[in-house]
Amino acid sequence: MYGLAFPKCPLPIPNSRRKVIQMPMEPMIGLEVHAQLNTESKMFCSCSTKFGAEPNSNVCPTCLGLPGSLPVPNRRAVEYVIRTGAALNCQTAARCRFARKNYFYPDLAKNFQISQYDEPLTHDGYIDLDVDGEQVRIRIRRAHLEEDTGKNIHLATGSSLVEYNRSGIPLMEIVTEPDFTTAEQCREYLTQLRLILRCIGVSNANMEEGAMRAEPTVNLVDRETGEATPKVEIKNLNSIRAVYQAVSYEIERQRRAVAEGREDELFQQTRRWDEDKGVTVLMRRKETSDDYMYFPEPDLVPLEPEPEWVEEIYASCPELPAERRERFCTEYDLPRYDAEVLTESRQLADYFEETCKRFEGSAKMVSNWLMGDVMSLLNEAGITIDQSPISCEMLAELLRLIKEDVISGKIAKDVLATMFETGRSAAEIVEEEGLEQISDTGALESVIDEVIEENPGPVEDVRAGKDKAIGFLVGQVMRKTQGQANPQMVNEMLREKLT
Amino acid sequence: MKLYELTAYELSERLTSGEVSAAEVTEAYFERIESVEEKVAAYLELTQDVAMEQARQVDDWRAGGEQPGPLAGVPVAIKDVLCTRGIRTTCGSKMLKGFRPPYDATTVRRCRDAGMPMLGKTNMDEFAMGSSTENSAYKVTRNPWDLDRVPGGSSGGSAAAVAAGMAPIALGSDTGGSIRQPAALCGISGLKPTYGRVSRYGLVAYASSLDQVGPLARDVRDCALAMNVLAGRDQYDATSADVDVPDYVAALTGDVEGLRAGVPKELMGEGIDPAVRTTIEAAIGQFEELGMAIEEVEMPNLDHSLPVYYVIAPAEAASNLARYDGVRYGHRTEEDVSDVYDLFAKTRGEGFGPEVRLRIMLGTFALSAGYYDAYYLKAQKVRTLIKQDFDAAFEDHDVLLCPTSPTVAFGIGEKADDPLQMKLAHVCTIPVNLAGIPALSIPCGMVDAMPVGLQIMGRPFEEATIMRVGDAYQRATDYHRQRPEL
């Protein structure tokens, strides 16, 4: 638990006059996720979705809601939602509609948002999670399509500006059933969902950048009687960690209120997560549900994705991160941690598999090099694996040189860095810089003799059976050969000579 | 005959043969406007410089041996509900005072591309809500036949401009009869195309599922010429239909022998002025003479048209008009405001006229939780029943005939305080919008020295058929040639 303001339930009940609910109440949590789809153009017009453009430059009559403008749906965005539906085991509707959600707000150019209401594009799916070894199935109620709003910018002077570059960017809303019972499950769901959305290439799903936003609804329920506390919606969550903390906090807050009989704190409400204080704060009481005056969008005809197209999208759904992770464990005999790291991005996982195909050696060795030296070079350069100057063929060649004792692992690190810098192949670098391992006994013998001569103390220790000292002598040989000696051979030759 | 008295078709012949230049035609129209606009007040904005430049461009094309389309050089007036790039587009509302759109409506662009010089923007009921053009925030347009009477609405400016010889063709929009009823009251021809036949892109929305742009002109042939320019699929309007566009002028064969016409009982009975009914019956007799078979049809659900319309149209309007909030364009209150919602409320309270406010409130109510099923949803269901009545009627009939308006033009101010009477002015035209079908209004006689309009309704996308029927009538009669004295 992070930063909770009060201890865990159950708490001693301080006042016997208070009404006490004795039943154990279980958290019931639902998650609503909004993900920006990474299409080139906006949902209902051809404006660019490029991030970071001059304010109000990626706009047109349609996304500014000018009089007379009309929406035309982006087919790619429709495809992305269907693809997400396929990945989340959802059904895609043969016919669905867009609806207008009417409310007044300055960042909403038309003062209504084109969304979907009672007829979502995809619905009724599920995702299976592995939460600390426990299998949990979360049902997906729906994944639908809508447009994003603009952004209000409040100035210190008291006036406000509105930025409409984001207005009309396609958004997908994914709503789960209230199947989560712990904050850990919520965290795992968001982690997996993010991996999936990235894997299928529909969203960069970055919560910190606002490309993915999550709103949990938390309450407590007695599964036997069905008695439940009123639902609380939490907003302002900018990371998966924040969702985890806020949900944990909210469960405890409600539990304590129930345990202490403080029913006045339990009412339907929207709360805001205060990151700094680590608490949720009341934003507004929800007396009634908001009335958005939904009605079918008359400017658009019903959406009827052709069955062949939908089938094609479902059929081309790639292997998802969770499945791939399992396969990496079994097929490549990788530790779970390795499999998790490698499947975090589809590109990294592809790179791993492509390298393995080209390298006749252990997959664990590929994994070690990839997760270690290759990743740190990439991180330093601030680039991703698909931008790496080292192709999987090149990495496979380097690993072969190590495996065949042409170079030592230590030398290989330097070779890798040179490869990264110059884009040259490992063989070329080793050849040109004369980095082959010295595996020639004759050449090694004279160096070893020198070392024995110069280090009588350690030599005595080895002879006296202190095995540790041999490492020192190997190190000395390595130093004299600038690391090019084959350490295995040096070790063996030293032992032969001293015992 | 003066140039402004010619039909678009006749002008087109003279322009093509080189008898007159586009510049001469456009100049003639501005001269006519100068002499009668003061009496009629049809225009909100005149665009002489733009028109003259377009006209000279057309003349240059022709001088260079190019053969632009038949309407090149024939001027057009644009209802102020259509966006015109850089030219004020107010929708007759204070809310959009001074608003200059950065883009052209597709229909406006098509007229420009066809070489039609734009004369100006015509007056209208605010946001196309009304039947008399009295709801304009700017001026009262008068009926050229009797300056004390209304021209109808909401496209009253467009209708009056054509009737007064101030434009050969005008564009209008029709949500519940706003092209046909003013055409009828001003003694001209007007067509509301099938929903989806003409692009709505750039048409400032009143009720999206009912709105349609169409032409008003001196006769049916001119409407057909205009439709050859306007009709067709537009990639910027998702509701525009991908249906082949025939040559509407070529479809005017004059032959209607054997066509079957139905006369809906519900649109000929109570509420129709007896003198108007008699005139319509005479017109129907004329069709029989032309060889058409006529019979009465029953369409019981048409009786619900007005209430259905006054749920659906205001509901869509409440949402469509929500964007006028003073944040991005148009009117913004100058009063002090406490917060952004106060800014919205004051801006909208000041910017919208009473009829628009009324409809926004009606629509908001109809869409509200708890009322949605009883009003909006139910209205949609009855709308389907109305459509089914039309489908059934069109199984045995090629066209349906009825009055366009239950009365001739009424006096200015006469119904201004009686919103129900005002709304009944569209009682014969509203069912057409609910069903999404095309309908034409043509002049067919006079009552009290004022024109009477006959409505010809057709199957979806059969504009050619109703125009063939209307044209055949005009070949046999001369009501469409009568002009008001100004």
Per-residue pLDDT of B102-160, as tens digits, reads 999 999 999 999 999 999 999 999 999 999 999 999 999 999 999 999 999 999 999 99
Q: Is B17 a catalytic residue?
A: no
pLDDT of A442 > 90? The answer is: no
**Phi, psi for residue B421 in degrees, rounded to 5:** -60, -40
CA distance B150 to B156: 8
State whether A67 and B323 contact (CB < 8 Å): yes
Write the burial class of residue B288 (CB in 10 Å: 0-12 exposed, 13-18 middle, 19+ buried): exposed
* B99: chain A residues, CB-CB within 8 Å: 67
Q: What digits encode the pLDDT tens for the residues A169-182? A: 999 999 999 999 99
* A64: chain B residues, CB-CB within 8 Å: 328
pLDDT of A5 > 70? The answer is: no
Residue B199 contacts residue B104 (beta carbons within 8 Å): no
Write the burial class of residue A314 (CB in 10 Å: 0-12 exposed, 13-18 middle, 19+ buried): middle
Could you tell me what percent of chain B has a pLDDT over 70?
Answer: 100
Q: Which pLDDT score, from 0 to 100, does residue A11 have? A: 41
Q: What digits encode the pLDDT tens for the residues A108-155? A: 999 999 999 999 999 999 999 999 889 999 999 999 999 999 999 999
Spatial CB neighbours of B251, under 8 Å, sequence gap ≥ 6? B224, B464, B465, B467, B468
Question: Can you tell me the mean pLDDT for B35-58?
Answer: 98
| Mean pLDDT score across all residues of chain A | 90
Tokens of B94: 């204070």
Cα nearest neighbour of B95 on chain A: A67
Q: Is B178 a catalytic residue?
A: yes
Residue A16's pLDDT band, with cuts at 50, 70 and 90, is: very low
Long-range CB pairs of A156-165, under 8 A, 24+ apart, other chains included? A160/A106, A160/B340, A161/A55, A162/A106, A162/A107, A162/B327, A162/B328, A163/A55, A163/A56, A164/A56, A164/A59, A164/A63, A164/A64, A164/A107, A164/A109, A165/A53, A165/A55, A165/A56, A165/A57, A165/A58, A165/A59
State whether A72 and B202 contact (CB < 8 Å): no
Question: Can you tell me the mean pLDDT for B413-430?
Answer: 91
pLDDT of A37 > 90? The answer is: yes
CA distance A284 to A422: 59
Q: Is B154 a catalytic residue?
A: yes
CA distance A268 to A21: 19
Tokens of B464: 């050619």
Q: Is residue B303 part of a domain?
A: no
* CA of residue A48 relative to chain centroid, distance: 25
Which among A47, A66, A162, A294 is the top mutation candidate for probing chain B, defined by the most B β-carbons within 10 Å of its own β-carbon? A66
* A72: chain B residues, CB-CB within 8 Å: 235-238
Tokens of A321: 């991160």
Amino acid occupying residue B343: L
pLDDT of A17 > 90? The answer is: no
Write the burial class of residue B228 (CB in 10 Å: 0-12 exposed, 13-18 middle, 19+ buried): buried
Residue A376's pLDDT band, with cuts at 50, 70 and 90, is: very high
Q: Which of B178, B189, B199, B405 is labelled catalytic?
A: B178
Q: Is residue B9 part of a domain?
A: yes
State whether A298 and B207 contact (CB < 8 Å): yes
Alpha carbon distances (Å) from A192 to A32, A39, A343, B211? 15, 21, 11, 47
Residue B264 contacts residue B483 (beta carbons within 8 Å): no
Question: Can you tell me the mean pLDDT for B192-209?
Answer: 98
User: Which domain covers residue B87, as residue numbers?
Assistant: 3-259+398-481
Residue of A8 and A86 predicted with greater confidence? A86
Q: Is residue B291 part of a domain?
A: no
* B322: chain A residues, CB-CB within 8 Å: 102, 104, 110-112
* A61: chain B residues, CB-CB within 8 Å: 101-103
Spatial CB neighbours of B364, under 8 Å, sequence gap ≥ 6? A293, B318
SS3 content of chain B, % helix, strand, coil (to 5): 45, 15, 45
Handedness of CA B192, B195, B197, B198 (dihedral sign): positive
State whether A104 and B239 contact (CB < 8 Å): no
Q: Which pLDDT score, from 0 to 100, does residue A22 have? A: 52
Least CB–CB distance from B376: residue in A102, A289, A295:
A295
Side-chain-side CA neighbours of B347 within 13 Å: the count stands at 23
Q: What digits encode the pLDDT tens for the residues A381-390? A: 999 999 999 9
Q: Which pLDDT score, from 0 to 100, does residue A3 have? A: 33
Question: Can you tell me the mean pLDDT for B332-347?
Answer: 95
Alpha carbon distances (Å) from B210 to A65, A72, A185, A300? 20, 18, 49, 13
Q: Is residue B307 part of a domain?
A: no
* B201: chain A residues, CB-CB within 8 Å: 68-70
Q: Is residue B317 part of a domain?
A: no
Q: Which pLDDT score, from 0 to 100, does residue A372 have? A: 94
Could you tell me what percent of chain A has a pLDDT over 70?
Answer: 95
**Phi, psi for residue B398 in degrees, rounded to 5:** -80, -35
Residue B210 contacts residue B192 (beta carbons within 8 Å): no
Long-range CB pairs of B270-273, under 8 A, 24+ apart, other chains included? B271/B406, B271/B424, B271/B427, B272/B403, B272/B406, B272/B428, B273/B406, B273/B407, B273/B408, B273/B447
Residue A216 Cα, gap to closest chain B Cα (Å): 25
CA distance A73 to A363: 46
Delimit the CATH 1.10.10.410 region(s) of chain A: 441-498
CA distance A239 to A190: 10
Least CB–CB distance from A298: residue in B316, B323, B328:
B316
Which among B171, B328, B343, B352 is the top mutation candidate for probing chain A, defined by the most A β-carbons within 10 Å of its own β-carbon? B328
Which among B82, B93, B96, B319 is the top mutation candidate for probing chain A, defined by the most A β-carbons within 10 Å of its own β-carbon? B319
* CA of residue A238 relative to chain centroid, distance: 14
Q: Is residue B343 part of a domain?
A: no
Q: Which pLDDT score, from 0 to 100, does residue A476 have? A: 86
Q: Which pLDDT score, from 0 to 100, does residue A8 have? A: 38
C-alpha closest to that of A100 among B376, B85, B284: B376
Q: What's A490's DSSP letter?
A: H
The vertex-A169 CA angle with A168 and A172, nearest 5°, equals 110
Q: What digits encode the pLDDT tens for the residues A227-256? A: 899 999 999 899 999 999 999 999 999 999
Could you tell me what percent of chain A has a pLDDT over 90?
Answer: 70
CA distance A42 to B52: 39
DSSP-derived pairing of the beta strands B260-264 and A295-296:
unpaired
What's the CATH number for A441-498? 1.10.10.410
Q: What digits encode the pLDDT tens for the residues B365-407? A: 999 988 999 999 999 999 999 999 999 999 999 999 999 999 9
Residues of B in CB contact (< 8 Å) with A are 82-83, 89, 91, 96, 99, 101-103, 105, 200-205, 207-209, 235-239, 315-316, 318-319, 322-323, 325, 327-329, 340-341, 344, 364, 367-369, 372, 376
Question: Can you tell me the mean pLDDT for B305-321?
Answer: 98
Question: Can you tell me the mean pLDDT for A42-69?
Answer: 95
**Size of chain A in residues:** 499
pLDDT of A297 > 60? The answer is: yes
Residue A13's pLDDT band, with cuts at 50, 70 and 90, is: very low
For residue B157, the domain's CATH number is 3.90.1300.10
Q: Which pLDDT score, from 0 to 100, does residue A443 have? A: 75
CA distance A103 to A494: 83
pLDDT of B452 > 80? The answer is: yes
Q: Is residue B243 part of a domain?
A: yes
pLDDT of A28 > 80? The answer is: yes
Q: Number of residue pairs across A and B with CB atoms under 8 Å?
A: 101
Tokens of A201: 């290439």
CA quadruple B409, B412, B418, B421: dihedral, nearest 10: 0
Query: Domains in chain B: how many in total?
Result: 1
- Strands in A99-102's sheet, in edge-to-edge order, are A112-115, A99-102, A295-296
Question: Can you tell me the mean pLDDT for B21-26?
Answer: 98
State whether B328 and A65 contact (CB < 8 Å): yes
The DSSP annotation for A8-35 comes to PSP---S-TTS----S--EEEEEEEEEE
State whether A111 and B323 contact (CB < 8 Å): yes
pLDDT of A12 > 70? The answer is: no
Question: Can you tell me the mean pLDDT for B337-366?
Answer: 96
Which among A111, A151, A301 is the top mutation candidate for probing chain B, defined by the most B β-carbons within 10 Å of its own β-carbon? A111
DSSP-derived pairing of the beta strands B118-122 and B76-79:
parallel
Residue of B202 and A408 predicted with greater confidence? B202
Is the whole-model pTM more than 0.90? no
Q: What digits encode the pLDDT tens for the residues A328-356? A: 999 999 999 999 999 988 999 999 999 99
* B367: chain A residues, CB-CB within 8 Å: 102, 293-295
Residue entry with tokens 């409400």:
A269
pLDDT of A10 > 70? The answer is: no
CA distance B229 to B245: 10
In DSSP terms, A153 is beta-bridged to A161
pLDDT of A80 > 70? The answer is: yes
3-class secondary structure, A409: helix
CA distance B234 to B240: 6
The vertex-A211 CA angle with A205 and A216, nearest 5°, equals 80
CA distance B398 to B262: 8
Locate all alpha helices (DSSP H) within A370-455, ordered by sequence: 375-381, 392-403, 409-422, 426-433, 441-454
